[in-house]
Chain A
Amino acid sequence: AQSVSQHNHHVILSEAASLELGCNYSYGGTVNLFWYVQYPGQHLQLLLKYFSGDPLVKGIKGFEAEFIKSKFSFNLRKPSVQWSDTAEYFCAVNGGSGNTGKLIFGQGTTLQVKP
């Protein structure tokens, strides 16, 4: 069955700490991978995306993610978090033959950054 798993449900960091949020997926065929962020009171916004090519992708606000096909993973990283990064982060995947765009989401990770 298609699924996405995010290992960390709630992460608390101090400002300037490094961040890594895990994401693993179970999906047949070619995948497209996404990280979305939802700031408090706002809608889901795209952080970064992977379709093909360089497995290390860079997104907005200093975030990056690495696609490791052998591990079915797409972990999100940021070297130094800021208080403004406090938000909920969602990993999502679609793809396969006959792709209709349907996104499968992970359960989300709440990141709290302490000033």
Chain B
Amino acid sequence: EPEVTQTPSHQVTQMGQEVILRCVPISNHLYFYWYRQILGQKVEFLVSFYNNEISEKSEIFDDQFSVERPDGSNFTLKIRSTKLEDSAMYFCASSTWTGREQYFGPGTRLTVT
């Protein structure tokens, strides 16, 4: 069964450093998403992406965040200058269409020290 994959599984970085989280969505999916979950809190939407454009972004997704689909398979989330409060589990998801079920990757645990 096709799966969404994410790398790395765990990333430790120092405050102010740039990080890139990588995702490979399911191959025939067209819509891609990033969510995050701070320990003990809800899963929060960050951004949705379709046709090489951001469809919607949340208030969390400020100028420090960017997304890119650099090739036909990868979908990346970049945080330019990490802050302590960016420490969270980051989930990538994909779907065939908006409103359809989303399939989630295993997540990347980002720890900012």
Inter-chain contacts of B93 with A (CB < 8 A): 103
Residues 27-48 of A contacting B (Cβ, < 8 Å): 32, 34, 36, 42-46
The dominant DSSP class at the B interface is strand
Question: Does the CB pair B91–A102 fall under 8 Å?
Answer: no
Q: Which residue of B lies closest to A46 (CB)?
A: B101
Q: Which residue of A lies closest to B32 (CB)?
A: A101
Question: Does the CB pair A101–B99 fall under 8 Å?
Answer: yes
A70 close to chain B: CB less than 8 A:
no
Given the known inter-chain contacts A90-B43, A95-B99, A105-B43, please indicate yes or no for A100 contacting B104, CB distance below 8 A: no
Question: Does the CB pair A106–B42 fall under 8 Å?
Answer: yes
Q: Which residue of B lies closest to A36 (CB)?
A: B104
Chain B interface category by residue count: 20 to 34
Question: Does the CB pair B48–A49 fall under 8 Å?
Answer: no
Q: How far is the CA of A100 from the CA of B50 in the complex (A)?
A: 9
Question: Does the CB pair A102–B48 fall under 8 Å?
Answer: yes
Given the known inter-chain contacts A42-B106, A43-B104, A43-B106, please indicate yes or no for A102 contacting B45, CB distance below 8 A: yes
Question: Does the CB pair B107–A103 fall under 8 Å?
Answer: no
Q: Which residue of B lies closest to A31 (CB)?
A: B99
A112 close to chain B: CB less than 8 A:
no
B27 close to chain A: CB less than 8 A:
no
Inter-chain contacts of A108 with B (CB < 8 A): 42-43
Q: Which residues of A contact B (CB under 8 A)?
A: 32, 34, 36, 42-46, 49, 51, 90, 92, 94-95, 99-108
The 9 closest A-B pairs by CB, nearest first: A100-B56, A101-B98, A100-B55, A44-B104, A43-B106, A105-B43, A100-B48, A99-B98, A102-B45
Q: Beyond A46-B103, A102-B56: 5 further Cβ-contacts under 8 Å? A: A36-B104, A94-B98, A101-B33, A102-B45, A103-B102
